[in-house]
């Protein structure tokens, strides 16, 4: 489906091939929808896991979080600001943090995480960056210990590799 969609986007509406490619795209889309409906019937547990889009209410989420020190955070990231929606069993908070270099810093952090040798060779830089990202992404929420459920916005980093102190 994605391949058909990309191919369709690469040709102009006036191209003689456009109607044929559009038809092929629509057929692929229809085929995927039929397959998804079949999954719903034949493998309901998998369907629920993979395709269900039911969003729990705030109260339901807070009840889930009440079973221990649990927190939920969702990030909304633009090129100049980070919004953090933090939810605990007893409340919510929305934090707006102006920030410009998150993408560059995340890329540097991911390079460290992907290259164990570089991480070991320059561990002070890795530890400093891991602590800096913790200070930007988690510390403003003020949570102490516990389990954090993270819902990222167009970026994903291994949050478990962040550090609460600059020594890493």
CA distance 53 to 11: 33
Please name the residue that has the structure tokens 């890795």: 126
The mean of the pLDDT values for the chain is: 88
pLDDT band for 162, please (50, 70, 90 cuts): very high
pLDDT digits (tens, 9 = 90+) for 130-148: 999 999 999 999 998 889 9
Q: Is the pLDDT of residue 153 over 80?
A: no
Report the pLDDT averaged over residues 60-83: 90
pLDDT band for 167, please (50, 70, 90 cuts): confident
Nearest by Cα to 127 from 147, 139, 109, 115: 109
Report the pLDDT averaged over residues 157-165: 90
Residue 136: enclosing H or E segment and its boundaries?
A: helix 123-137
Report the pLDDT averaged over residues 2-16: 85
Nearest by Cα to 59 from 48, 74, 72: 72
83-118 burial, b for 16+ CB within 10 Å, e for fewer?
ebebbbbeeeeeeeeebeebeebbeebeebeeeeee
pLDDT band for 2, please (50, 70, 90 cuts): confident
pTM above 0.85, yes or no: no
**Higher pLDDT residue, 48 or 99?**
99
């Amino acid at each position: 489906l994605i391949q058909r969609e990309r191919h369709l986007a690469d040709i102009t509406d006036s191209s003689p091939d456009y109607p044929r490619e559009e038809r092929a795209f629509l057929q692929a889309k229809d085929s995927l929808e039929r397959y998804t409906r079949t999954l719903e019937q034949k493998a309901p547990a998998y369907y629920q896991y993979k395709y269900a889009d039911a969003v729990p209410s705030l109260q339901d989420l807070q009840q889930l979080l009440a079973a221990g020190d649990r927190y939920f955070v969702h990030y909304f990231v633009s090129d100049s600001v980070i919004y953090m929606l933090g939810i605990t069993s007893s409340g919510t908070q929305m934090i707006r943090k102006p920030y410009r270099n998150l993408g560059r810093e995340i890329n540097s952090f991911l390079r460290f995480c992907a290259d164990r040798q570089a991480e070991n060779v320059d561990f002070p830089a890795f530890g400093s960056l891991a602590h800096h990202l913790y200070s930007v992404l988690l510390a403003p929420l003020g949570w102490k210990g516990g389990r954090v459920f993270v819902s990222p916005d167009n970026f994903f980093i291994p949050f478990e590799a962040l550090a609460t102190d600059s020594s890493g």
